[in-house]
A and B are shown apart, each in its own frame.
Chain A
Amino acid sequence: MRHRVTIENCNETYPCSEQQTLLQGMEQLGKRGIPVGCRGGGCGVCRVQVTSGNFLKAKMSRSVISEADESKRIVLACRCTPTSDLSISVVGKMEKALRAECQVEPEDEVSVAAVV
């Protein structure tokens, strides 16, 4: 079953199956938005906050996701699979780079301009 994942920071939406992690779904379609690092729950660059929707999560490195993070639904996109449509917001340390990256996508330039 496929669900829609919306990255709030740059208004990107992509389909993601229940067999894929949020990061795989994005990466495989050549979409951008969530920074891609180790894809194994170790490095923490793919930190996102799930603002709505349900998901399953696998083990994540404690040094990059604390228990407090988890209670705020801050997780690693490479360790979570969707079980419903999701909205997420990128909160990792590369969030700044993401803003620059969103602007590279031609269709996003419009939305960035609209916000500004």
Chain B
Amino acid sequence: MAFKGVLRPGLIQIRVLNMDEAINHYQNILGLNIVSTEADGRVYLKGWDEFDHHSVVLRQAESAGLDYVAFKVDSDDYLREIEPKIVAWGLEVDHVPAGEQPGVGPRIGFTLPTGHRIELYHQIDMADDHPGITNPDIYPRRPEGMGASRFDHLLCYGPNIGKAREFFCEVLDFYQPEKVDLPEGDGSLAIWLTASNKAHDIAFVEHEEPGKLHHVAFLLQDWNEVGAAADIISINDVSLDIGPTRHGITRGQTIYFFDPSGNRNEVYAGGYTAYPDHPVRSWDFDHVGKGIFYYERALNDRFLTVLT
């Protein structure tokens, strides 16, 4: 197997202000399926094309935002071996026991210099309602709402993103398909990192406040589905941010909107196939508008400053 170590961002726990409104949004608008609701009130969901037990965890809280994202790794051995490397790089590692989330084995967690909590895990049960395996149909039934097939990636805002890049690339074997340079010096304003063939599994923008969430993205099949998502946003009076449009960076076709607690969501299709031997695509600061919004060719204040 050429694909080793970290496999993908598999679990994300999002804080919401009102659980009923959040369930309506993630279930009926995005089209994720509810897997379970647990005694502590957290609600577990998954996209129709995900084999694992769940991918999205909603937790009702006093503030919106991101609790953590957890990456699935290929084995228990990897989980054991990576821990001392994370510690040697300078991060404190803690342990989350098996069963803290239903169907999920032990996890390890740490906080990046950007203020974001990251976790790693290997064991997770297969979902009861998983995609077909034997003579599989293309999907088990027509998905609801936008029909988001899976949790795809996230964009984090925080300080020290250069350190985050170093950590992901040196310790977890990620690579960087794309970046935006700062107007002065050799630092980056924004970085796209991946452990896979996707143009990004996680991305960061340099920002003074630590631990902020810019958006959580879900995968759609194509441009038509992005258009249908726009229809669903208007039909249901969902708070629109921008789109449908396209990114120069990653080349993805996209629309951004907000969940009822103000957390930004993206549904996304397309994008190039990344390989670790490809050169890092770079955007200078003067071209960042086109990089982010390829058709509008300009950034807007809301996209840059609205975070949870």
Interface residue ranges, A against B (CB under 8 Å): 35-43, 45, 59-64, 93-94, 97
- Distance between A66 CB and nearest chain B CB, rounded to angstroms: 11
Q: Which of B234-276 contact A (CB under 8 A)?
A: 239, 241, 258-264
**B301 interfacial by beta-carbon distance below 8 Å:** yes
Q: Is the CB of A93 within 8 A of B258?
A: no
Contacts of B302 in A (CB 8 A): 35-37, 45
Contacts of A40 in B (CB 8 A): 17, 64, 239, 258-263
Q: Is the CB of B305 within 8 A of A42?
A: no
Provide the main secondary structure of the chain B interface: loop
Q: Is the CB of A42 within 8 A of B239?
A: no
The docked-state distance in angstroms from the alpha carbon of A36 to that of B258 is: 12
Q: Is the CB of B17 within 8 A of A61?
A: yes
Contact A97 B262, CB 8 Å, known A43-B308, A62-B63, A63-B65: no
Contact partner, B261, options A35, A37, A42, Cβ 8 Å: A42
Which residue of B is nearest A39, CB measured? B239
The docked-state distance in angstroms from the alpha carbon of A35 to that of B308 is: 16
Q: Is the CB of A42 within 8 A of B65?
A: yes
Q: Is the CB of A41 within 8 A of B261?
A: yes
The docked-state distance in angstroms from the alpha carbon of A35 to that of B303 is: 12
- Distance between B5 CB and nearest chain A CB, rounded to angstroms: 34
Q: Is the CB of B63 within 8 A of A38?
A: no
- Distance between A65 CB and nearest chain B CB, rounded to angstroms: 10
Which residue of A is nearest B21, CB measured? A40
Q: Which of B271-308 contact A (CB under 8 A)?
A: 301-302, 305-308
Contact partner, B305, options A45, A60, A62, Cβ 8 Å: A45
Contact A37 B262, CB 8 Å, known A43-B306, A43-B307, A93-B305: yes
Interface centre among A35, A38, A39, A61 (most CB of B within 10 A): A38
The docked-state distance in angstroms from the alpha carbon of A14 to that of B308 is: 29
Interface residue ranges, B against A (CB under 8 Å): 17-18, 62-65, 239, 241, 258-264, 301-302, 305-308
Q: Is the CB of A39 within 8 A of B262?
A: yes
Contacts of A39 in B (CB 8 A): 239, 258, 262
Mind listing 21 A-B residue pairs with CB under 8 Å? A37-B302, A39-B239, A40-B17, A40-B64, A40-B239, A40-B260, A40-B263, A41-B17, A41-B64, A41-B261, A42-B263, A42-B308, A45-B305, A59-B18, A61-B17, A61-B262, A62-B62, A63-B63, A63-B64, A63-B65, A94-B301
Q: Is the CB of A38 within 8 A of B306?
A: yes
Contacts of B62 in A (CB 8 A): 61-63
Q: Is the CB of B308 within 8 A of A38?
A: yes
The docked-state distance in angstroms from the alpha carbon of A38 to that of B65 is: 12
The docked-state distance in angstroms from the alpha carbon of A60 to that of B260 is: 11
- Distance between A77 CB and nearest chain B CB, rounded to angstroms: 13
Contacts of B305 in A (CB 8 A): 37, 45, 93-94
Contacts of A62 in B (CB 8 A): 62-63
The docked-state distance in angstroms from the alpha carbon of A45 to that of B17 is: 17
Contacts of A36 in B (CB 8 A): 302
Contacts of B308 in A (CB 8 A): 38, 42-43, 61, 63
The docked-state distance in angstroms from the alpha carbon of A37 to that of B307 is: 9
Interface centre among B258, B259, B308 (most CB of A within 10 A): B308
Q: Is the CB of B64 within 8 A of A97?
A: no
Which residue of B is nearest A38, CB measured? B262
Contact A42 B301, CB 8 Å, known A37-B306, A61-B261: no
Contacts of A93 in B (CB 8 A): 305
The docked-state distance in angstroms from the alpha carbon of A93 to that of B301 is: 12
Contact partner, B264, options A38, A45, A60, A94, Cβ 8 Å: A38
The docked-state distance in angstroms from the alpha carbon of A42 to that of B257 is: 13
- Distance between B148 CB and nearest chain A CB, rounded to angstroms: 19
Which residue of B is nearest A45, CB measured? B306
The docked-state distance in angstroms from the alpha carbon of A15 to that of B302 is: 24
Contacts of A43 in B (CB 8 A): 64, 262, 306-308
Contacts of A59 in B (CB 8 A): 17-18
